[in-house]
Every structure is written in C-alpha cells, then in structure tokens.
C-alpha cells in the first residue's frame, strides 16, 4: 500500500501486519522509514482493530488469537504451560512502536521502559483471544533529532478479563539505528548504550 494509505488507515489485518514485519507493507516509504514489527514467533498481534490520534494523545486496540501449540507453551513450563507475562508487555511496546510509525515517525523502534507492570492472571493454551488496549498519554517528535517517542498505559485481557496492566510504557523511533544488512558486519552490527 502507499504510505499515504498506511497513515490514513485505522485498522490492519494479519496480512498487513506480516507484510510490515517483512518490510513489504509500504511500497513508497519516505526516507528514514524503518518501521517493523517482529516477525513470528515474536509477533504478538494478529490484528489492529483501532488506531486513533488526537494531538499528543491516542489509542490502540489490537488482538492476538491463542493457539494450543503456541511456541511458548512448549517450553514455559513443561507440565504447567503458561504464556510468559513479559510477552504481554512486549506486545504493548510493539504496538506503541507501530503507533509512532503510523503517526509519521521515522526510524527503527526500540522499547525504552515502563514505570509499572502488574500481573493478576495468566494466559493458558485453551484460552481464545488476547486483547490489548493502550491509551497513548503522550506522543512527541523530538526537535533536531528525527526521533519520536510515545508513552502509553495499557491493559492486556484474555477472553474479556483484564489480567495485566502496564503503566507508562515508552517506545521511541530512531533514525539510522537499523541493521538491514544482517548478518554482515557493518556500522550497526554491535549493540551497547544508545545515545539520546
């Protein structure tokens, strides 16, 4: 799809999300557009149902279908399968990063932290649908850097019951940090502390 279409859409299906993960969703990306979602099995959303922006605030609603053979049930834990709670937090970060790119931010996304996480339940192999609802409390394009940051409060529900809350999850998009020529050794082949 065209970049203008990407920016105007308020929902995305699984084929759209997979195309973005593989870098093939936007056919005419602007210079610096490096937005990606993780590819399966780390991709934690099957569809984005709602995207809304009102100035510096916004909202994202997405879902993921639970499958009895999801990879994490095979190892976490043997005899007691449960989805790792950190994957729910990662889903919130993934979606906030998507939001930044949808709002026009350029660069590659990175999770920057969160203030508070509470787990009050679990996701098991016979559950059906995980739902993420995130209220963006601040979206900002940082002057003179090309970077974008968004902060959101999210909930993770399974089959209609909220089981996790994530407060002040923060994600940024940063220019020129992506590593598209992996596995070759190049400028961004090594990690370490990022300059802010």
Picking from 151, 77, 80, the residue whose alpha carbon sits closest to that of residue 116 is 151
- Indicate the average pLDDT of the chain: 96
114-140 average pLDDT score:
98
* Residue 27 pLDDT greater than 60, yes or no: yes
16-37 average pLDDT score:
97
67 burial type by CB count under 10 A (0-12 exposed, 13-18 middle, 19+ buried): exposed
Which CATH number is 3-174 given? 3.10.129.10
* Residues with catalytic function: 76
Share of residues in the chain with pLDDT > 70 (%): 99
pLDDT confidence bin for 196, thresholds 50/70/90: low
Place of tokens 């605030």: 57
Q: Which two tokens stand for residue 46?
A: 């099957």
pLDDT confidence bin for 22, thresholds 50/70/90: very high
Q: Are 86 and 54 in contact (CB under 8 A)?
A: no
């Amino acid at each position: 799809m065209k970049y203008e279409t990407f920016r105007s859409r308020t929902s995305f299906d699984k084929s759209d999300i997979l195309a973005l993960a593989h870098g093939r969703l936007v056919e005419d990306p602007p210079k610096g557009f490096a937005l990606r979602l993780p590819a399966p099995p780390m991709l934690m959303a099957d569809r984005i149902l709602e995207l809304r922006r009102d100035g510096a605030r916004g909202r994202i609603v997405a879902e993921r279908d639970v499958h009895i053979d999801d990879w994490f049930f095979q190892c976490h834990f043997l005899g007691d399968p449960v989805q790792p709670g950190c994957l729910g937090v990662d889903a919130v970060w993934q979606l906030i990063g998507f939001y930044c790119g949808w709002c026009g931010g350029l660069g590659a996304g990175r999770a920057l932290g969160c203030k508070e996480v509470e787990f009050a339940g679990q996701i098991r192999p016979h559950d059906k649908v995980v739902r993420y609802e995130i209220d963006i409390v601040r979206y900002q394009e940082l002057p003179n850097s090309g970077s974008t940051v968004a902060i959101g409060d999210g909930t993770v529900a399974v089959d209609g019951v909220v089981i996790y809350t994530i407060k002040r999850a923060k994600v940024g998009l940063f220019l020129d940090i992506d590593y598209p020529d992996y596995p070759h050794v190049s400028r961004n082949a090594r990690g370490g502390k990022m300059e802010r």
